[in-house]
């Protein structure tokens, strides 16, 4: 009996030469601009998730093209977006719906890309009967069906332990340190300031990268979103101070910190942070604050009305490189020479 196979039949049943995984990028309405930047850098079209909100507030999603068998990266910071009419809770629910839709559409892998991980400050019980909401969000994402999480500058690195799935923890430190060196000059008498004891490890690493000394602000927080700055530990007299933090929210803590540093004799004060949330009256507070400049990244979209002192750098390059390496199963930590675990 002949074992020859008809050539046309073999051609019809075999995989085409060069067959491989498909890479797709989708974005929720809180991160559409950042998602577009990532897709453009990867050379792919941004996949339309078909999002809309019904009259009763429910979120709907239906991908406009097949995602079967693809590795889909869903970009969505769980933050509010004024122009889209979204709150942080809307963005979170939208992300969960997008993940569930991708799982149901037989995507090969679903990777949630959260440049800003909402609820990350609720990462422990600070008082009796409080929830650990950052852990709850992790459970919700895994229940929805993510295979992996890609995020940037978590408020506490230990939050990775809330996940049983792999977590890639990126940092904007290379972007921010390079900006300080380029804009303020390596010859400038700079001191890097930690806003509290919890940021000392980050500040020390930042100061090492810039090649400058660092100092510490003593701070107490009597209640949520309320901070009282005490005094400066370290020498700031006559120097240009750069306050380094992961988040700027209402701006009250930063304004008080800047005034404290100036009172201790600093020449001028700048602030750099990864996530510029700027909620409530933050813009008014920061406009009145004695700050020469504020630098954040685009992990959270900057709403209208921002003062000219705020400058936004893009995190798209780091996130794009991370997405590419995850897709090709290359080392992600090599992006930072293994130094992305900072906290």
Domain CATH number, residue 201: 3.40.50.2020
State how far the Cα of 83 lies from the Cα of 320, in Å rounded to an integer. 25
Average pLDDT over residues 60-74: 97
Residue 299 has pLDDT above 80, yes or no: yes
Which pLDDT belongs to residue 338?
A: 58
Give me the catalytic one of 139, 219, 237, 239.
Answer: 219
Which pLDDT belongs to residue 283?
A: 97
Which pLDDT belongs to residue 160?
A: 94
Q: Are residues 122 and 240 in the same domain?
A: no
> C-alpha distances in angstroms, 112 versus 126, 237, 248, 261?
28, 45, 23, 39
Known catalytic residue: 52? no
Q: Are residues 177 and 202 in the same domain?
A: yes
Q: For residue 302, give both structure tokens.
A: 């900057």
Question: pLDDT > 70: what percent of the chain?
Answer: 89
* Residue 40 in domain: yes
Average pLDDT over residues 85-114: 97
Q: Are residues 237 and 295 in the same domain?
A: yes
* Residue 247 in domain: yes
Q: Are residues 199 and 296 in the same domain?
A: yes
Q: Are residues 218 and 166 in the same domain?
A: no
State how far the Cα of 106 lies from the Cα of 104, in Å rounded to an integer. 5
Is residue 103 very low, low, confident or very high in pLDDT (cuts 50, 70, 90)? very high
Q: Are residues 98 and 58 in the same domain?
A: yes
Residue 83 has pLDDT above 80, yes or no: yes
Q: Residues 6 or more apart from 133 whose CB is under 8 A from it?
A: 119, 122
Instruction: Identify the domain containing residue 304 by its residue range.
Output: 173-314
Asked whether the beta carbons of 225 and 121 are under 8 A apart, the reply is no
Any idea which residue has 């075999």 for tokens?
A: 14
Which pLDDT belongs to residue 343?
A: 41
Of 194, 193, 212, 167, nearest in space to 340 by CA = 167
Which pLDDT belongs to residue 324?
A: 95
Look at the chain and report how many structural domains it folds into: 2
Average pLDDT over residues 221-244: 79
> C-alpha distances in angstroms, 3 versus 6, 11, 119, 319?
10, 16, 63, 51
* Residue 270 in domain: yes
* Residue 1 in domain: no
Of 132, 131, 244, 135, nearest in space to 198 by CA = 244
Mean pLDDT of the chain: 90
The helix/strand/coil state of 13 is helix
Nearest-10 crossing angle of helices 316-327, 32-42: 60
Q: Are residues 270 and 163 in the same domain?
A: no
The model's pTM: 0.89
Asked whether the beta carbons of 71 and 111 are under 8 A apart, the reply is yes
Of 137, 164, 158, 178, nearest in space to 341 by CA = 158
Which pLDDT belongs to residue 186?
A: 73
Per the rule left: phi > 0, alpha: psi between -120 and 50, beta: everything else, 219 is beta
Q: Are residues 219 and 246 in the same domain?
A: yes
Q: Are residues 130 and 186 in the same domain?
A: no
* Residue 8 in domain: no
Of 338, 114, 339, 155, nearest in space to 245 by CA = 155
Q: Are residues 55 and 186 in the same domain?
A: no
* Residue 122 in domain: yes
| 170: Cα within 13 Å, side-chain hemisphere | 30
* Residue 342 in domain: no
Which pLDDT belongs to residue 238?
A: 94
* Residue 30 in domain: yes
CA dihedral 261, 266, 269, 273 (to 10 degrees): -60
Q: Are residues 29 and 166 in the same domain?
A: yes
Residue 9 has pLDDT above 50, yes or no: no
Of 167, 43, 166, 21, nearest in space to 107 by CA = 21
Q: Are residues 153 and 221 in the same domain?
A: no
State how far the Cα of 174 lies from the Cα of 186, in Å rounded to an integer. 15
């Amino acid at each position: 009996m002949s074992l020859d196979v008809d050539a046309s039949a073999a051609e019809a049943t075999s995989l085409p030469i060069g067959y491989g995984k498909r890479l797709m990028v989708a974005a929720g309405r809180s991160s559409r601009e950042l998602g577009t930047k990532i897709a453009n850098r990867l050379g792919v079209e941004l996949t339309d998730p078909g999002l809309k909100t019904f009259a009763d507030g429910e979120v709907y999603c239906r991908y406009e093209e097949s995602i079967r068998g693809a590795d889909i990266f869903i970009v969505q910071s769980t933050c509010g977006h004024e122009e889209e009419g979204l709150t942080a809770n809307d963005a979170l629910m939208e992300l969960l719906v997008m993940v569930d839709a991708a799982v149901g559409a037989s995507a090969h892998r679903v990777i949630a890309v959260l440049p800003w991980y909402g609820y990350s400050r609720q990462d422990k019980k600070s008082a009796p009967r409080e929830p650990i909401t950052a852990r709850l969000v992790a459970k919700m994402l895994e229940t929805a069906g993510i295979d992996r999480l890609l995020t940037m500058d978590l408020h506490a690195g230990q939050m990775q332990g809330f996940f049983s799935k792999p977590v890639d923890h990126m940092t904007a430190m290379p972007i921010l340190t390079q900006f300080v060196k380029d804009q303020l000059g390596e010859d400038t008498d700079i001191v890097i300031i930690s806003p509290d004891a919890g940021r000392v490890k980050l500040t020390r690493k930042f100061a090492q990268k810039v090649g400058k000394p660092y100092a510490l602000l003593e701070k107490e927080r009597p209640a949520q979103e309320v901070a009282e700055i005490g005094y400066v530990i370290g020498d700031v007299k006559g120097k240009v101070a750069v306050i380094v933090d992961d988040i700027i929210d209402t701006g009250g803590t930063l304004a008080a910190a800047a005034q404290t540093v100036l009172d201790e004799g600093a020449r001028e004060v700048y602030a750099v942070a990864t996530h510029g949330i700027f909620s409530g009256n933050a813009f008014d507070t920061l406009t009145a604050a004695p700050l020469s400049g504020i630098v954040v990244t685009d992990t959270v979209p900057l709403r209208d009305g921002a003062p000219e002192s705020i400058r936004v750098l893009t995190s798209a390059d780091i996130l794009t490189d991370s997405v590419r390496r995850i897709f090709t199963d290359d080392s992600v930590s090599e992006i930072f020479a293994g130094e992305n675990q900072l906290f």
